[in-house]
A and B are shown apart, each in its own frame.
Chain A
Amino acid sequence: MEVERIIKERERWESETLRKFLEKKPERKKFMLDFEREIERLYTPEHLKDWDYLEKLGFPGEYPYTRGVYPTMYRGRLWTMRQYAGFGTAEETNKRYKYLLEQGQTGLSVAFDLPTQVGYDSDDPMALGEVGKVGVAIDTIEDMRILFDGIPLNKISTSMTINSTAAILLTMYQIVGEEQGAKSEELRGTIQNDILKEYIARGTYIFPPKPSMRLVADTIIYCAENIPRWNPISISGYHIREAGSTAVQEVAFTLADGIEYVRWITRRGVDVDKFAPRLSFFFASHNNFFEEIAKFRAARRLWARIMKERFHAKNPRSWTLRFHTQTGGSTLTAQQPLNNIIRVTIQALAAVLGGTQSLHTNSYDEALALPTEKSVEIALRTQQIIAYESGVADTIDPLGGSYYVEWLTDVIEEEAMRYIDRIEEMGGMSEAIERGYIQKEIADSAYKIQMEIESGERVVVGVNKFVDKEEEINIEIMKVSEEVAERQIKRLREIKRKRDQKKVEEALDALKRIAEKEEDNKNNVVPYIYRCVKNYATLGEIVASLKEIYGEYRAPTVI
């Protein structure tokens, strides 16, 4: 057999060629993956001994989708270039969107400020200092109209990073689309709407887990019935990774979240194939090039198996893991910031070779502040160079069949599955989060990574090696002025003065009445949120009404 011949030859090579060489020139170190698995010197067919091409890879656009979710991948259409952007008021962000679209960006991605994400109006004392800082401030439907002014929502797809308040922002978008004359089946985009990872890693939760899960499920079902081409959730590993997890943990915890959502909604008696085709995912891409590529491929295969075998989904579209990628924010350095352009290039390449459906490339200045127009342009150009000059998009899954990449894909799948099984044994993701297990795993991994950086074992160029001692970090920084909040509060107050107060109160009352009723397909809260939004209830008022019913979540602290 061929493999036996290869083993024999390998042994010969080791004794005749390798040993002598190593005696004179030893290797630099032991090479390890983040999840404590040693990387071997060389990968050969020996590592893929019982490896069955059709079972492991198959063909693109077919089960188990290892090579990609579409039959032609980037030969048909390139990934969507989608830069996450938003700051200040809706006017300023609208201007940035138009600039990005003029530069050849192909989709929008809205960053909201923190008060919008956690349910406070811009004039709330809790919003102090945060209005317009990490994203655009949205208080009412009027802000949303301005945000998309002159941008045809029937033509462009829009991703919105919004979780606890997702239903509010979604219905605002829907109403603006309707006002522009778009048909509901023309509205395309994604809301993040992934509350589980907020408890784990991102922190913009509002309500306790149970009512939060209800809101997620209500929104997913509402979209399936009303906005059929919308992705009502983006199950996100990005923030888990950024909080310090390994690549394996990122895959495992994300898919375990996915399992929890599917279980929750099917328990409500909804057929899995009614909503699963529109579940979408979001991952990070970090520096370890091959590990990242293998991670994306493993995630795709795992999800296909889970959906087919565990949930018995019949529609092939329910089996596909479609995902957005963002390059790793935590890998950026404040020191020697231009080096970040290179890091982002490597990470973006991994995402493309891993078969991403859309991509955000970080800007080189983001360890220090929000990006400037200039730095964003370079980040977008990075994607365009990969797409149009590098040739990596010319054939499907070009690394498929690489001994190393296939071995890594198998190993990541196996290790992630082990975690998923452990979480299932605990009773599922909600239980594992409640116990603090996931948070602890991530915190441990984050601390370990930091210790490796401290010891120099993990090299970060410009930070713990090749340091420029004379360096003065001196790049142009984007700043959001404090005066943004004043302007935003002025508009909010004006709208509150002009609106029909009676209609607002009626809509909020109706919302509270439905929210009180038990979770059920006939008690969906989203149409009631729609009515509140349409009548100019503010985001803060809608959330405050729901807090009256659901209360607020206080997280245990795990360090």
Chain B
Amino acid sequence: MRRRILIAKVGLDGHDRGAKVVARALKNAGFEVIYTGIRQSPEQVVATAIQEDVSLIGLSCLSGAHIPLFRRVMELLKEKNLDVPVFCGGTIPPSDVPILKKMGIKEVFGPGSSLKEIVEKVKEMIGDDRYSS
């Protein structure tokens, strides 16, 4: 079975160049990728994650609203007992990284992150032997 990854745009911002590029790179690396499209509420993202039975969630936000929005996603995942690793990317200042990690987000990819690095880390997070190098 191929492991599924959900790439989700949380909040109201329409900047999805990064989300799409990452989605395509993961696809090219052999994963099955579902992209939510823009303007998803935390509730919608979690519902999609459940419905699509994903193994990993990648959140993207470039509006500066990442802390309250990602926090809500993490709370909902907990409420629903969904134990799926989460990573994120966007316009995220380094000083926010510890806050996001404390919420339980595994990896934070700020501006300038390389696709190679993201794909490597995704393989680790997803914890499948077939994928780890």
A binds B: yes
Q: Are A446 and B91 in contact (CB under 8 A)?
A: no
How far apart sit A120 and B39, CA to CA, in the bound complex (Å)?
A: 13
Q: Are A369 and B93 in contact (CB under 8 A)?
A: yes
Question: A125, A330, A559: which contacts B24 (Cβ < 8 A)?
Answer: A559
Which residues from B are CB-within-8-Å of A443? 20, 24
- Is B81 part of the contact surface with A, judged by Cβ < 8 Å? no
Which residues 69-94 of B have a CB within 8 angstroms of A? Answer: 69, 72, 91-94
Q: Are A118 and B17 in contact (CB under 8 A)?
A: no
- Is A203 part of the contact surface with B, judged by Cβ < 8 Å? yes
Question: A125, A332, A334: which contacts B110 (Cβ < 8 A)?
Answer: A334
Question: B14, B41, B66, B94: which contacts A203 (Cβ < 8 A)?
Answer: B14
- Return A523 CB to nearest CB of chain B, in Å: 30
- Is A129 part of the contact surface with B, judged by Cβ < 8 Å? yes
Give 1 or 0 for each of B94-133: 1 = CB within 8 Å of chain A CB: 1100000000000000111011100000000000000000
Which residues from A are CB-within-8-Å of B14? 198, 201-204
Q: Are B64 and A369 in contact (CB under 8 A)?
A: yes
Which residues 33-49 of B have a CB within 8 angstroms of A? Answer: 33, 35-39, 41-42
How far apart sit A453 and B110, CA to CA, in the bound complex (Å)?
A: 16
Which residues 98-154 of A have a CB within 8 angstroms of B? Answer: 114-115, 117-118, 120, 125-130, 133-134
Give 1 or 0 for each of B1-26: 1 = CB within 8 Å of chain A CB: 00000000001111111001101110
- Is A288 part of the contact surface with B, judged by Cβ < 8 Å? no
Which residues from B are CB-within-8-Å of A127? 12
Which residues from A are CB-within-8-Å of B116? 454
Which residues from A are CB-within-8-Å of B17? 242-244, 330, 446
Q: Are B112 and A463 in contact (CB under 8 A)?
A: yes
With A114-B12, A367-B91 as contacts: A133 and B111 at CB distance below 8 Å: no
Q: Are A477 and B93 in contact (CB under 8 A)?
A: yes
- Return A88 CB to nearest CB of chain B, in Å: 11
How far apart sit A130 and B11, CA to CA, in the bound complex (Å)?
A: 7
- Is A555 part of the contact surface with B, judged by Cβ < 8 Å? yes
Which residues from B are CB-within-8-Å of A128? 11, 41-42, 65, 68-69, 72
Question: B21, B65, B91, B110: which contacts A447 (Cβ < 8 A)?
Answer: B21
Q: Are B65 and A133 in contact (CB under 8 A)?
A: yes
How far apart sit A446 and B33, CA to CA, in the bound complex (Å)?
A: 18
Which residues from A are CB-within-8-Å of B23? 559
How far apart sit A474 and B97, CA to CA, in the bound complex (Å)?
A: 13
How far apart sit A370 and B62, CA to CA, in the bound complex (Å)?
A: 11
**Chain B contact patch, size range:** 35 or more
With A244-B17, A443-B20, A450-B21 as contacts: A114 and B11 at CB distance below 8 Å: yes
- Return A87 CB to nearest CB of chain B, in Å: 9
- Return B8 CB to nearest CB of chain A, in Å: 11
Q: Are B37 and A477 in contact (CB under 8 A)?
A: no
| Closest Cβ neighbor of A448 among chain B residues | B21
Which residues from B are CB-within-8-Å of A203? 13-16, 38-39
Give 1 or 0 for each of A416-447: 1 = CB within 8 Å of chain B CB: 00000000000000000000000000010011
- Return B66 CB to nearest CB of chain A, in Å: 8
- Is A390 part of the contact surface with B, judged by Cβ < 8 Å? no
How far apart sit A243 and B13, CA to CA, in the bound complex (Å)?
A: 13
How far apart sit A367 and B89, CA to CA, in the bound complex (Å)?
A: 12
Question: A120, A464, A555: which contacts B38 (Cβ < 8 A)?
Answer: A555
Q: Are B68 and A559 in contact (CB under 8 A)?
A: no
Which residues from B are CB-within-8-Å of A242? 15, 17
How far apart sit A334 and B95, CA to CA, in the bound complex (Å)?
A: 13
User: Which of B24, B65, B68, B116 has the most C-beta atoms of chain A within 10 angstroms of its own C-beta?
Assistant: B65
Question: B24, B91, B112: which contacts A335 (Cβ < 8 A)?
Answer: B112
Which residues from A are CB-within-8-Å of B42? 128
How far apart sit A556 and B20, CA to CA, in the bound complex (Å)?
A: 13
Which residues from B are CB-within-8-Å of A451? 115
Q: Are A555 and B11 in contact (CB under 8 A)?
A: no
How far apart sit A327 and B77, CA to CA, in the bound complex (Å)?
A: 39
With A335-B112, A443-B20 as contacts: A134 and B67 at CB distance below 8 Å: no
Question: B27, B65, B95, B115: which contacts A129 (Cβ < 8 A)?
Answer: B65
- Return B34 CB to nearest CB of chain A, in Å: 9
Which residues from B are CB-within-8-Å of A133? 63-65
Which residues from A are CB-within-8-Å of B68? 128-129, 482
Question: A120, A129, A333, A454: which contacts B67 (Cβ < 8 A)?
Answer: A129
How far apart sit A446 and B13, CA to CA, in the bound complex (Å)?
A: 18
- Return B30 CB to nearest CB of chain A, in Å: 16
Q: Are B111 and A115 in contact (CB under 8 A)?
A: no
Which residues from A are CB-within-8-Å of B65? 114, 128-130, 133
Which residues from A are CB-within-8-Å of B11? 114, 128-130
Which residues from B are CB-within-8-Å of A202? 14
With A130-B65, A134-B63, A367-B91 as contacts: A333 and B13 at CB distance below 8 Å: no
Q: Are A126 and B12 in contact (CB under 8 A)?
A: yes
Which residues from A are CB-within-8-Å of B93? 368-369, 473, 477
Q: Are B12 and A130 in contact (CB under 8 A)?
A: yes
Q: Taking A120-B12, A464-B114 as given, write out 4 further A-B residue pairs in contact, using a Cβ cutoff of 8 Å, ordered by the A residue number.
A: A369-B93, A447-B21, A482-B68, A557-B36
User: Closest 5 A-B residue pairs measured CB to CB?
Assistant: A203-B14, A129-B68, A129-B65, A114-B12, A557-B37
List 6 A-B residue pairs with CB atoms under 8 Å apart, sorted by A's residue number: A128-B11, A128-B41, A368-B111, A369-B93, A453-B114, A472-B94
Interface on A for B, CB 8 Å cutoff?
114-115, 117-118, 120, 125-130, 133-134, 198, 201-204, 242-244, 330, 332-335, 367-370, 443, 446-447, 450-451, 453-454, 460, 463-464, 472-474, 477, 480, 482, 555-559
